[in-house]
Structure 1
Amino acid sequence: GILAAFRAGKSKIVVPAGVYRVPKSLWGSNLEFADLKNFEIDASGVTLLMEDNTKTGIYFRNCQNVTLRRATIRNAVFPFTQGKIVAIAPDRKSFELQIDTGYPTSLDNPDAFNPQTTYYLFDRVTRRLKDNTYDYGNSGLTRLAPDRFQILFENPLGAEVEVGDLTSMRGRGGSGIHSDGCEGMKFIDVSLQSSGGFGFFETGGIGGHIYQRVSVKPGPQPEGAQSEPLMSQNADGFHSASVGKGPAIENSMFTRMPDDGIAIHGEYQMVRQTQGNTLICMRPWPGLPYEVGHHIALVAKNGVPQGEAIVTGIKALNEGLLPPITTEFPHFRDNKFFFEVTTDHPLSAQEGDVVANLDRCGQGFQLRGNTILNHRARGLLLKASNGVVENNLVDGSSIAGLVIGPELWWGEAGYAHDLVIRNNTFTRCGYATTGPWNEQAGVLTVLGTGDSREARGHTRLKIEGNSFISNDGTNAVLDGLTDSTFTDNKFLNAQQKENRRGADRGYDISSLVYIGRTNNLSFEGNVIQRLGTANKSMVKSSPDATEIKGLESGFRINGAKKIESSGNIEFQYFADGEMRREIRDPAIIREGDTYYATFTMWPFRNREEKNLHLPDNGSSPGIQLYSSRDLKTWKAENWLVKSSALPVTSPYKHRFWA
């Protein structure tokens, strides 16, 4: 019907309302539409039940300006299953899983499930991911009964795994809707339920697709079941890879995925040889990732951007042209597809560096008014530029609310520039499936890549007017960026208890904001309320942060926990590399409508031999003058006495203390 209407020259088809079972297909997807143009499919009141849950639901290939409205797409058989832990072995290297009534019992069928997969734990009361739990990869399984399995693990399970915990795991399957090589697609009021892979998936092509009021959610429970689904599908809610213009996603919902809410990125290819204007590169799959006229960006393997050029030539080379390379990045191991790219001027590339197509990274994306709720991983994972993230709610993302940054190890590009992150709310993020090893440690994380202290590739980011509510651990990690602003953000009820995200990466996990490799970063008008006892400093700045403005005046405590040494007046200042609250010998006077304050600054100790290697020999830096009009927001005016500026003959040089 749909293809016949298009071939007959019609511009629109209305599919009669009803439930349609789509039988198994010999093709790679349940339904496939290729080369449609300027066509609308109105599926109001239509539910498509896919009989084959291992394949993509609907595959659009090389289509232009096609609209799909009001369809519900669901797998007839769930591509995942769930149950309850009913026993744990004494050595804690296995547990018994009782499959919930009505859910698939085919865990030992390799066509439906990988025998070695990942198990996720859910709280038996809230039914969201259980706090302080992880991803649990099993080593095998044994069927004990028609609906019961023993799940085996190489290492003992931690004490956080308990009898009675709910658990679910991914099965095999394809995406709900896949748009490949398309342009100007529109999906309006489309709902995806129990997809086998990604929910909405877009790859390649010019892009510029629009998604309005779409959803990824669990849908109804299976026939005969007595419990609601713990998951909605098997992977990201929305995934955009190597598309020209990024998506516009508005007023949509993504919930209960076992992976990211919305992910947008390009692709890195690894450089193997260079000669003049020519690079020989490799990738894990066939095809040419550039066209003449595209912009190519080079990033050294240590994370430092090395410049851009314009592609003037591109051709495929023999498969397996060069032997495999030893690399720390898993994505590039055993790559066997090679191509040659020529640029308008030489790039300073070395073997092991990476390149990316800036015209196929999802630039210009718009994410507005969306809700991302109760799922594993990152709410938003963005590696594209010229985008807007505005008025979104991210609630219950287990690793982080928003992560901006390339991932060389995963082959996903790239650095971001000219982003606006405005008026979003991030709440209850970073509570599970993460830990001390995770460099994406902030509820909002902007992250460079590689190990160089100069790996600053993000630029011109505006992070403004966002609300961070009830998040433990570091709320913001700002790294790898330049010429950016962090203004008018609000932190409410933060760090009520310790969370060790990023501790092994050298972050100060007790700081509200951590600043890494940055230059020309400005803070202004940020407000903090009801700060918890796990906090020890407002802002912690690494030695690789330079030209940071507003560290002292850019954060204001309003209604937070009291500072005993300052009575009823909240006060903070920058000293010894971080924000401090401690003051001694304070004095405040008023002149007109302005208050002026002086005090002895941290550290409160005299000059000692063991501290001579520290700034000011480990003593207080001196006395600085601060001003305020409301006794809440304080501005550093100037130094009255600066210890390091005193002449060497002064008896008080490096000897201020209290």
Structure 2
Amino acid sequence: MTQKLYGLLIFLSLISQAFAQTPPPPTPNLQKFIDDRLAAGESRIVIPPGRYHTIPQKNVHLRLENLKDIELIADGVELVCTETTRALNIHQCQNLTLQGLTIDYDPLPFTQGTITHISDDRLTHDITLSSGYPTNGKILAHKYEIYRNDTRTLRFGSYHGCEVLRISPNKLRITKPQRWKNKGAEQVGDPIVIECLQAKKGHLPHAISLKDSKNVTLSSVTLFSSPMFGFIENDCSKTTYLKCRVDRRPLSNDLKKRASARLRSLNADAFHSYNAPIGPRYLQCSAQFQGDDCIAINSEFHLILNHQQNNLRVLARRHMNLQKGDPVMFLDDRGIPHPLTTIKNIQPHHPLTDPEKQWIQTLPLSQKFKSSMRSTFLVTLDAPRPLPKDSLIYATNKMAEGFQIIDGSFAQTRSRGLLIQANNGIIKNNKINACHAESIKVAPEFWWLAAGPVNQLVIANNEISNSAREAIQITSHGAKRTDISPPGTHNAITISNNTILDSPPPHIYATSTAELTLKNNRAKKNGNHIPPVLEIKRCSGVSVDGKPFPPQL
């Protein structure tokens, strides 16, 4: 072969390779990139922009743990989780900043399709899954959601407790509980979405988990999907969420070709904070189309099994967050608060007895807790407290003191916009639209063991539109929701300069509050100004537009 001919063959080979469809290069190891730079002593780490497909290690795709005074710049960086388990752990960190990261999942933690048949009793739906959405994985009917075909917004909040049968890889049969017999406005042709999980070695919920951390800042972090909550924090102080966003990803830049755009962003809450001594700040954040609340902030109730003098036998909600020296209060089964006291000592106690297990099953609690609560403790108080058996105990120093929700945008959720069980906070300059429950709800919840009553809260300058229930609800009840808690359960709440648009009356519903101030709130219906409708029960020290309101006791 001549040298000239040989060169021509080489040239043709290179041209052929250039046009061949070759697989993309392997994704760089994002965890190793960060760990190497930390090991080199870098405190400001800039991650090269790009898409990083990650494989979870011990059910977590990326870990930032035990870091102090570190800044991670991830502008233009996308973390694609290859299994529907935890995306990011931020645990035991201090003064950590994470900027610019986008997180998504492939496979998605949900699948979606179209209703092709509805049974005569309206209980059973046949579903054809849409091209490009998961057909494998474990399908869970925690939140079966049905959307309108024209607006792609929720037709109904969601159905719970459904049964799912796979007819074929891309066909499902979903049966609603009997209580929905001959009920429901869904139609053939409506698009649906339902949870679908695929994790090879087990599943950890939530996309981003913060735990035992202080002064963490998440800036311009975007979540397009999550197997449960988006951002969750436990036992953290002074977390700042700045311009963080939860939304459904548009079809134009989705990870793969799909027959239709996504209906859902996350499977559950967008932002959730538990047990924060100093509360989080949500500044210019947004959340929409997730499967539950936009923002929830609370501490935890624990269940009192019995008591003798100043010794309480207590069943923990999950892990026990009470400690020696904590100031604690109580809410009894009628929703009545009992005075502040201090924990003198706390220690593990003997396991649940069979009668206790049987009694717990009779309580109006989520079955999730009835099945999982097992850890008992002996709590010694500094003074005796006569309390009913099924009273609740909570630490008042873990109530997200000083939280802020400012300049946010929250919309299109099957549940609440903002759910608040926290102290000395401010909610202002937010836009809240199309919540299928209350837009702003302030209330302890026995069902979820979510503490507690609220002291010092300002709700101001918010625009609330198209709320399916009360735009603003401040309330407290006993365990069976038959008793409204007395005035002074909540204290010092101001609701001022809010605009409520096209929402049902009462626009503001308030109970159980001492020193309640309402001022300059406005309402509109179909563009016309109307007086805001107020419903106030069992409150004291109420002022409406500068005038005393008769006590409702």
TM-score normalised by the chain length of structure 2: 0.85
Q: What is the CA distance between 1:318 and its match in structure 2?
A: 3.1
1:482: which partner in 2?
Answer: 514
| Rounded Cα–Cα distance in structure 2 between residues aligned with 1:166 and 1:51 | 25
- Give yes or no for the alignment of 1:147 onto 2:147: no
Could you report, residue by residue, the CA deviation over 1:371-405 in whole angstroms, capped at 9, with x for unpaired residues?
00212100000001100001010011111110000
| Rounded Cα–Cα distance in structure 1 between residues aligned with 2:194 and 2:220 | 28
Letter in 1 for 2:92: N
Letter in 1 for 2:387: A
1:446: which partner in 2?
Answer: 474
Letter in 2 for 1:153: K
| Rounded Cα–Cα distance in structure 1 between residues aligned with 2:182 and 2:216 | 46
| Rounded Cα–Cα distance in structure 2 between residues aligned with 1:166 and 1:351 | 47
| Rounded Cα–Cα distance in structure 2 between residues aligned with 1:481 and 1:70 | 41
Secondary structure of the 1:408 match is coil
| Rounded Cα–Cα distance in structure 2 between residues aligned with 1:371 and 1:489 | 19
1:428: which partner in 2?
Answer: 466
- Give yes or no for the alignment of 1:311 onto 2:343: yes
Q: What is the CA distance between 1:134 and its match in structure 2?
A: 4.3
Alignment counterpart, residue 228 of structure 2, candidates 178, 185, 197: 197
1:521: which partner in 2?
Answer: 542
- Give yes or no for the alignment of 1:47 onto 2:82: no
Q: What is the CA distance between 1:232 and its match in structure 2?
A: 0.2
Could you report, residue by residue, the CA deviation over 1:593-636 in whole angstroms, capped at 9, with x for unpaired residues?
xxxxxxxxxxxxxxxxxxxxxxxxxxxxxxxxxxxxxxxxxxxx
Q: What is the CA distance between 1:513 and its match in structure 2?
A: 2.0
1:567: which partner in 2?
Answer: none
Q: What is the CA distance between 1:360 and its match in structure 2?
A: 1.5
Describe how 1:46-195 pairs up with structure 2 within 5 A: 46-53=77-84, 55-106=85-136, 109-110=137-138, 113-114=139-140, 116-130=141-155, 133-137=156-160, 139-155=162-178, 156-172=181-197, 174-195=205-226
1:624: which partner in 2?
Answer: none
- Give yes or no for the alignment of 1:16 onto 2:51: no
Q: What is the CA distance between 1:426 and its match in structure 2?
A: 0.5
Q: What is the CA distance between 1:308 and its match in structure 2?
A: 0.8
| Rounded Cα–Cα distance in structure 1 between residues aligned with 2:193 and 2:102 | 24
2:270: which partner in 1?
Answer: 237
1:592: which partner in 2?
Answer: none
- Give yes or no for the alignment of 1:216 onto 2:241: no
| Rounded Cα–Cα distance in structure 2 between residues aligned with 1:495 and 1:475 | 16
2:421: which partner in 1?
Answer: 383
| Rounded Cα–Cα distance in structure 1 between residues aligned with 2:98 and 2:398 | 24
| Rounded Cα–Cα distance in structure 2 between residues aligned with 1:494 and 1:544 | 33
2:470–2:503: 8 Å Cα contact kept in structure 1? no
Q: What is the CA distance between 1:5 and its match in structure 2?
A: 2.5
| Rounded Cα–Cα distance in structure 2 between residues aligned with 1:51 and 1:294 | 42
Letter in 2 for 1:143: R
2:158–2:414: 8 Å Cα contact kept in structure 1? no
| Bigger proportion of residues as helix | 2
Secondary structure of the 2:174 match is strand
2:476–2:485: 8 Å Cα contact kept in structure 1? no
- Give yes or no for the alignment of 1:419 onto 2:457: yes
| Rounded Cα–Cα distance in structure 1 between residues aligned with 2:95 and 2:384 | 38
Letter in 2 for 1:269: H
Alignment counterpart, residue 329 of structure 2, candidates 287, 293, 297: 297
Q: What is the CA distance between 1:7 and its match in structure 2?
A: 3.5
1:472: which partner in 2?
Answer: 504
1:179–1:203: 8 Å Cα contact kept in structure 2? yes
Kindly, what percent of the aligned residue pairs are identical?
25
Secondary structure of the 1:6 match is helix
Secondary structure of the 1:409 match is coil
2:298–2:399: 8 Å Cα contact kept in structure 1? yes
2:34–2:45: 8 Å Cα contact kept in structure 1? yes
| Rounded Cα–Cα distance in structure 2 between residues aligned with 1:293 and 1:487 | 39
Alignment counterpart, residue 329 of structure 1, candidates 351, 358, 364: 364
> Quick check: which has more Rg, 1 or 2?
1
| Rounded Cα–Cα distance in structure 2 between residues aligned with 1:141 and 1:276 | 51
Q: What is the CA distance between 1:329 and its match in structure 2?
A: 2.7
| Rounded Cα–Cα distance in structure 2 between residues aligned with 1:494 and 1:157 | 32
Q: What is the CA distance between 1:138 and its match in structure 2?
A: 5.4
Worse overlay, 343-352 or 421-430:
343-352
Q: What is the CA distance between 1:420 and its match in structure 2?
A: 0.5
Secondary structure of the 2:417 match is strand
1:45–1:71: 8 Å Cα contact kept in structure 2? yes
Letter in 2 for 1:199: G
Q: Please, which runs of 5 or more residues in structure 2 have no aligned partner?
A: 1-32, 198-202
Could you report, residue by residue, the CA deviation over 1:264-303 in whole angstroms, capped at 9, with x for unpaired residues?
0010011122233322211243x43122332111111110
- Give yes or no for the alignment of 1:29 onto 2:60: yes
| Rounded Cα–Cα distance in structure 2 between residues aligned with 1:179 and 1:225 | 33
Distance change >3 Å, CA 279–CA 144, structure 1 → 2: closer
| Rounded Cα–Cα distance in structure 2 between residues aligned with 1:124 and 1:7 | 52
1:397: which partner in 2?
Answer: 435
1:645: which partner in 2?
Answer: none
| Rounded Cα–Cα distance in structure 2 between residues aligned with 1:544 and 1:97 | 54
- Give yes or no for the alignment of 1:458 onto 2:490: yes
Q: What is the CA distance between 1:226 and its match in structure 2?
A: 2.8
Q: CA RMSD in A?
A: 2.3
Q: Which structure carries more relative contact order (alpha carbon 8 Å, separation 6+)?
A: 2
- Give yes or no for the alignment of 1:545 onto 2:552: yes
Distance change >3 Å, CA 411–CA 544, structure 1 → 2: farther
Describe how 1:626-641 pairs up with structure 2 within 5 A: none
2:134–2:196: 8 Å Cα contact kept in structure 1? no
Letter in 1 for 2:172: F
Secondary structure of the 1:333 match is helix
2:542–2:551: 8 Å Cα contact kept in structure 1? no
Alignment counterpart, residue 309 of structure 2, candidates 272, 276, 282: 276
Q: What is the CA distance between 1:343 and its match in structure 2?
A: 2.5
Letter in 1 for 2:111: T
Secondary structure of the 1:3 match is helix
Alignment counterpart, residue 228 of structure 1, candidates 261, 273, 290: 261
Letter in 2 for 1:35: N
| Rounded Cα–Cα distance in structure 2 between residues aligned with 1:143 and 1:278 | 53
| Rounded Cα–Cα distance in structure 2 between residues aligned with 1:98 and 1:473 | 39
2:303–2:317: 8 Å Cα contact kept in structure 1? no
Q: Please, which runs of 5 or more residues in structure 1 have no aligned partner?
A: 431-440, 497-509, 527-540, 547-658
| Rounded Cα–Cα distance in structure 2 between residues aligned with 1:28 and 1:129 | 32
Could you report, residue by residue, the CA deviation over 1:409-467 in whole angstroms, capped at 9, with x for unpaired residues?
2100000010000100100111xxxxxxxxxx522111112143553311100000000
Distance change >3 Å, CA 161–CA 183, structure 1 → 2: same
| Rounded Cα–Cα distance in structure 2 between residues aligned with 1:28 and 1:101 | 28
| Rounded Cα–Cα distance in structure 2 between residues aligned with 1:314 and 1:140 | 43
Number of matched pairs: 497
